[in-house]
């Protein structure tokens, strides 16, 4: 494959963040004596931005109540940012993969639906010293994936053509983002969605396998 640029999703692809996300969601719900969710349930809710996560976590009758959604989201964000790396860790082999790609001159970028401040914090926490050409998350005024705008923004920052770029992610949203942006997509098998049953995509099961695909 040998791309010049690799765009990585963050949650479920580079980092296992679900335990900290789950703790924060349930904390915000518990403050209001609302029903809480299992780790498995919250895993199915993530990937479309934190506001969408909170709306799904709320009882159905409260999801259209903007004031409630705003308040729960604020409590979630405060708690999550204060406890963002209690349980979060890179998936096996990921730090070594990132370092190897960088050492081979591959440009690296983050394209996430996680809120921007959280995205930046975790990249600095776990990948300090890696000069990502872009670290992009959920920002006001910018559409979420699978809108291809984030792909175009990264390509412009990197100065790389579409055919020279690959997106790596753990969800159908990531693969749609790649397709919508006109770049290749590779799915990982260790994330929050089971990608093995989706036809027509490349799925890798380990960081070593991903390295061999990207650096043949």
Q: What residues are labeled active site?
A: 9
In angstroms, the CA 211 to CA 203 distance is: 13
In angstroms, the CA 139 to CA 117 distance is: 9
In angstroms, the CA 46 to CA 156 distance is: 28
Dihedral angle at the C-alpha atoms of 25, 26, 29, 30, nearest 10 degrees? -150
In angstroms, the CA 143 to CA 140 distance is: 8
65: exposed, middle or buried (Cβ count in 10 Å: 0-12, 13-18, 19+): middle
Look up residue 177 and give its two tokens. 């983002």
Sign of torsion, CA 118 120 126 132? positive
Q: What letters, b where the CB count within 10 A reaches 16 and e where it falls short, cover 68-87?
A: bbeebbebbbebbeeebeee
């Amino acid at each position: 494959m040998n791309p010049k640029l690799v765009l990585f999703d963050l949650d479920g692809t580079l980092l296992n963040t679900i335990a900290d996300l789950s703790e924060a969601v349930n904390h915000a719900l518990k403050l209001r004596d609302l029903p809480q969710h299992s780790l498995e349930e919250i895993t199915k809710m993530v990937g479309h931005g934190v506001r969408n996560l909170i709306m799904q976590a709320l009882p159905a009758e409260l999801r259209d109540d903007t004031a409630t959604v705003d308040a729960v989201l604020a409590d979630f964000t405060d708690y999550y940012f204060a406890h963002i790396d209690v349980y979060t860790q890179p998936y096996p082999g990921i730090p070594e993969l990132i370092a190897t790609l960088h050492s081979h001159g591959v440009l690296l970028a983050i394209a996430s639906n996680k809120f921007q401040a959280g995205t930046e914090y975790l990249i600095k926490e776990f990948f300090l010293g890696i000069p990502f050409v872009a670290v992009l998350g959920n920002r006001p005024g910018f559409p979420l994936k699978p809108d291809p705008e984030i792909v175009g923004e990264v390509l412009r920052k990197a100065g790389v053509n579409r055919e020279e770029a690959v997106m790596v992610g753990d969800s159908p949203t990531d693969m749609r983002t790649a397709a919508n942006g006109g770049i290749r997509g590779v799915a990982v098998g260790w994330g929050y969605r089971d990608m093995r049953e989706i036809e027509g995509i490349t799925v890798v099961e380990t960081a070593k396998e991903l390295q061999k695909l990207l650096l043949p």
